[in-house]
Amino acid sequence: MEKYEFVEELDAGRYSVTKKMRNIQTQEVVTMKFIELGPKVHENIGKEIMNHHLKEILFSKTHAALVMEYVDEKEISKDREIVDGMEKYEFVEKLGSGSFGVTKLMRNKNTKALFAVKFIERGPTIDKNVEREIINHRSLQHPNIVRFKEVMLTPTHLGIVMEYAAGGELFKRISISGRCTEDETRYFFQQLICGLEYIHSRQICHRDLKLDNILLDGSKAPRVKICDFGYSKSSMLYLRPNTIVDSTTNAAPMDPANRQYDRELYSLHSTPNTAVGSPTYAAPEVLDEGEYDGQIADIWSCGVTLYIMLVGSYPFDHPNDHEDVQKTIQRIKNVDYNIPHNIKISEECRELFSRIFVRDPSKRISLKEIKSHPWFLKKLAWELNEGIQALFYRRNIRTFSHQSDEEIMKVLREAEKKLPS
């Protein structure tokens, strides 16, 4: 605990005390909950992991210290202002924030169901990436993809309502445990591949697959949930500039009266030709200048997630300089990686790596080939059977979005308008 200094005590309970602490080096203020070590410590820590987004867990001889983001009363008041005007939902807690905006846990006032709602400030912030994310996400209905619910407006923000994945990011799970066993890794990877295969079947490439964008539900055997489609693109749209097929019904081309809407959707999509997402997960062709196949690049990113789950580090980081992005990029382009000697990985898994990490995209293993690979097929979870997944869709159809693409675009056009000062 040497890197933190005490600021003030915030709360105290029977088995824990919560304090405001400051990182001595960075001066970042955090909330630290100290839980007394004892018979129920793992149960108590487990509850905190489920209910909060932890930065790290530290241990002393007598206590476990859970480090969380510090939020003062002014921030809580600001959170409530953002959600003001939402008749259906009430604020529960903040889940995270980024350059895009802020994500909050919200509760439906009638059903009491929990949802994650991403709030983005109205005005110029509502750009093509936001529109792409919503239109593509809305068309995807699969057990391994976070469900899109609806878009709505508050006086100041656009709200994107989605399924709440109570288990949090897979990245956080690995950060806490260090790495996963091969069987646990395979279980998560099988789900990731099944979800991605469905995304690709809808003619969409994700382009930002990483552990941060892979969530887990709150079940005992966690179900993977792919999220964040901000960089996704749909070839169904950019290959057919004069006709748009409804993404959920495969209906006939739209009426000419809606041609403006047709053009708006088409303008969101083009052949991928820019490097987006995290460089550490990017395929070599993404880092080159020029067009590339986003679906084949997604497979490389899956390989990076597989490696991190098994090894606990990034495959292409320079061993002596993890912070140098240019060295990482060069190693990616050279396919320069190795598996540490102290990490035991089966030969079948090593062979799979050798077929994913291939410089030439045309020679890289396909999703279909991954699904028939011996390592992938071992201990294949029963719920990944295609028939079971089809049953999931039929049982849950009422929980998916019933907003049409046209209704969503109307909300987005309204959200784009600059708010009065």
Q: Which of 71-80, 120-129, 255-264 has maximum average pLDDT?
A: 120-129
Pick the CATH number of 168-231+276-387 from 3.40.50.620, 1.10.510.10, 1.20.1250.20, 2.40.50.140: 1.10.510.10
In CATH terms, the fold of domain 4-69 is Phosphorylase Kinase; domain 1 (3.30.200)
Q: Which of 84, 208, 298, 360 is catalytic?
A: 208
pLDDT at 391: 63
Residue 114, token pair as written in the block = 């929990």
Residue 293, token pair as written in the block = 């196949």
Predicted confidence band at 413 (pLDDT cuts at 50, 70, 90)?
Answer: very high
Predicted confidence band at 305 (pLDDT cuts at 50, 70, 90)?
Answer: very high
For the chain, the helix, strand and coil percentages under 3-state DSSP, each to the nearest 5 = 40, 20, 40
pLDDT at 28: 82
CB contact set of 412 (below 8 Å; sequence gap of 6+): 126, 130, 131, 134, 151, 158
**Lowest-confidence pick of 138-147, 250-259, 272-281, 334-343:** 250-259
Asked if residue 171 lies in contact with residue 216, where contact means CB atoms within 8 angstroms, the answer is no
The answer, yes or no, to whether residue 254 has pLDDT greater than 60, is: no
The answer, yes or no, to whether residue 246 has pLDDT greater than 50, is: no
DSSP secondary structure letters along 372-417: TSHHHHTT--GGGSHHHHHHHHHHHGGGS----HHHHHHHHHHHHS
Q: SS3 for 297? A: helix
Residue 294, judged by CB atoms within 10 A of its CB (0-12, 13-18, 19+), counts as buried
pLDDT at 251: 40
**Lowest-confidence pick of 81-90, 244-253, 383-392, 403-412:** 244-253
The answer, yes or no, to whether residue 97 has pLDDT greater than 60, is: yes
pLDDT at 403: 84
Predicted confidence band at 399 (pLDDT cuts at 50, 70, 90)?
Answer: low
pLDDT at 3: 85
Work out the angle between the directed axes of helices 405-416 and 128-138 (0-180°, nearest 10): 160
Q: Which residue has the higher pLDDT, 14 or 149?
A: 149
**Lowest-confidence pick of 33-37, 234-238, 390-394, 409-413:** 390-394
Instruction: Tell me what percent of the residues of the chain surpass a pLDDT of 90.
Output: 48
pLDDT at 210: 96
The answer, yes or no, to whether residue 43 has pLDDT greater than 70, is: no
Report d(CA 236, CA 243) in Å as an integer.
10
Distances (CA, A) of 378 to 300, 370, 383: 21, 12, 14
Nearest to 311 by CA among 342, 351, 276, 273: 342
Residue 398, token pair as written in the block = 């009422």
End-to-end CA distance of the chain: 46
DSSP secondary structure letters along 304-359: HHHHHHHHSS-TTSBTTBTT-HHHHHHHHHTT-----TTS---HHHHHHHHHHS-S
The answer, yes or no, to whether residue 13 has pLDDT greater than 90, is: no
Which amino acid belongs to residue 419?
L
Report d(CA 182, CA 5) in Å as an integer.
39
Predicted confidence band at 406 (pLDDT cuts at 50, 70, 90)?
Answer: confident
The verdict on whether 262 is a catalytic residue reads no
Residue set of the binding site: 118
pLDDT at 220: 86
pLDDT at 295: 96
Report d(CA 389, CA 2) in Å as an integer.
49
Q: E strands of 214-327, at which residues? A: 214-216, 224-226, 233-234
Locate the domains of the chain by residue range.
4-69, 73-163, 168-231+276-387
| Mean pLDDT, rounded, of the chain | 83
CATH, domain range 73-163: 3.30.200.20
Instruction: Tell me what percent of the residues of the chain surpass a pLDDT of 70.
Output: 79
The answer, yes or no, to whether residue 161 has pLDDT greater than 80, is: yes
Report the phi/psi class of residue 85: left, alpha or beta, with left for phi > 0 and alpha for psi in -120 to 50: left
Predicted confidence band at 87 (pLDDT cuts at 50, 70, 90)?
Answer: confident
Report d(CA 104, CA 83) in Å as an integer.
9
Report d(CA 138, CA 39) in Å as an integer.
45
The answer, yes or no, to whether residue 334 has pLDDT greater than 50, is: yes
pLDDT digits (tens, 9 = 90+) for 255-298: 444 444 444 544 444 556 566 778 999 999 999 978 999 999 99
Whether 168-231+276-387 and 73-163 are alike in CATH topology: the answer is no
The answer, yes or no, to whether residue 23 has pLDDT greater than 50, is: yes
Report d(CA 196, CA 227) in Å as an integer.
11
Predicted confidence band at 82 (pLDDT cuts at 50, 70, 90)?
Answer: confident
Residue 229, judged by CB atoms within 10 A of its CB (0-12, 13-18, 19+), counts as buried
